[in-house]
Structure 1
Amino acid sequence: MPTVASIHVAKATRLPMREVEAVTVEAGKGIVGDRYHGTRHRHVTVQSATALQEASELFGAAVPAGLTRRNLTLSDGVVPRDPGDRIRIGDVLLEVVRVAAPCKLLDDTIGRGAQEALRRRGGSVFRVLEGGRIAVGDEVDTIPGRPVGIT
């Protein structure tokens, strides 16, 4: 079962991400203290260390989790991509909204070609259905096949 390998937050857009050991997550709002807290649907972004390793091989250099602008990095496996799929991390229930497309900013922060290396490996954007606390080391359980809008 995958676990939370790292957690990153930024207080505002374009500010550097900082690594933290745990976060408080609010239903319908997102991670307290993160730039997307309170937005409509973009509450939490999740990627996999497995996908980062693939991107690193394509890129030809390490792609650090903290520079990808994603909040949670899972230890391994595939992050659900289909809208409506869900993952549970402790008390927190997240639902996929869409695939997280890598932005051009990655070429500026990681290096030219990083955006392309992360294409189809950038993880997913989730909304928070049930809040709680997420910490590094928490187990992640996937719940596939939930249609959007059904709770």
Structure 2
Amino acid sequence: MNSQAKLLDKLCANIAPGKLEWIGLRSERRGEVVVVDQVEAVVDLGLVGDHRMKKTPGSARQVTLISSEYIQQICHHTGHASIDPRLLRRNLVISGMNMNLLRYQRLQIGDVILETSALCHPCSRMDEALGAGGTAAMFGYGGLCAKVIQGGLMRMGDAVLRLPQVGDQVRLFP
């Protein structure tokens, strides 16, 4: 394990489990986000019922995650009292974990194992959804992209567990 991976593993060793708070699927690009109580994830494809499953086989952008804590920060920057996660167009909202430490990690949610990767940057549509400055407010708080490593079911309320690192597959910094 390289020094960056060792440092990250040490920082993450005591991360308490989080919780899956919300699940949203988009059947088509720019389509309506449908909230569901559970979803099936398929290895190397993504979430059943989400349009990215058809577009990104094998890619690291099969599933998008954001934390409820990030949503609170976006509220702070935009002046909103609350924000419906559907407006942010992410698939999963988790809570109780420092998302800054979850990049390049493996997470287990229900039966599913996700490998997080790139930051999920906001698009200019966030100005439409959140008002002027919405995109800027989300910068740094857009969440993470992930790939499905192990398929299965995820349900709202499932624990989100950070899995131990394996070798050098994980980096603290890109």
| TM-score, structure 2 as length reference | 0.79
Out of 4, 13, 35, which is 1:19 matched to? 35
Q: Secondary structure at the match of 1:117?
A: helix
1:44 and 2:63 matched: yes
Any runs of at least 4 consecutive aligned residues in structure 1 with deviations exceeding 6 A, and if so which?
none
Q: CA-atom RMSD, angstroms?
A: 1.6
Q: Do 2:42 and 2:150's aligned partners in 1 also have CA atoms closer than 8 Å?
A: yes
- Alpha-carbon contact 1:95-1:129 (below 8 Å) kept: yes
Give per-residue Cα distances to partners, 1:15-56, cap 9 Å, x unaligned.
121111110100110001101014131111011001100110
Three-state SS of the structure 2 residue aligned to 1:37 is helix
More helix by share: 2
The amino acid of 2:106's aligned partner reads: R
Q: Letter of the aligned partner of 1:82 in structure 2?
A: R
Segments of structure 2 that go 5 or more residues without pairing to the other structure are 1-16
The alignment of Structure 1 onto Structure 2 pairs a total of residues equal to 148
User: Offset at 1:78?
Assistant: 2.1
Report the CA distance between 1:81 and its aligned residue: 4.6
User: In the alignment, which of 116, 122, 136 is matched to residue 156 of structure 2?
Assistant: 136
Deviation at 1:144, TM superposition (A): 6.0
State TM-score, norm by structure 1: 0.90
1:87 matched to which residue of 2? 107
Q: Higher Cα Rg: structure 1 or 2?
A: 2
Contact 2:78 2:130 in 1 (8 A): no
In structure 2, distance between residues paired with 1:74 and 1:81: 11
Give per-residue Cα distances to partners, 1:78-97, cap 9 Å, x unaligned. Answer: 224533x1111121110012
The yes-or-no answer on 1:124 pairing with 2:141 is no
Please list the CA deviations of residues 86-132 of structure 1 after superposition, one character each: whole Å capped at 9, or x if unmatched.
11112111001211001111111221111111111111000000000
**Partner Cα separation in structure 1 for residue 69 and residue 27 of structure 2:** 27
Alpha-carbon contact 2:121-2:139 (below 8 Å) kept: yes
- Quote the sequence identity (%): 29
Which shifted more, 37-46 or 9-18?
Answer: 37-46
Gaps of 5+ in 1: none
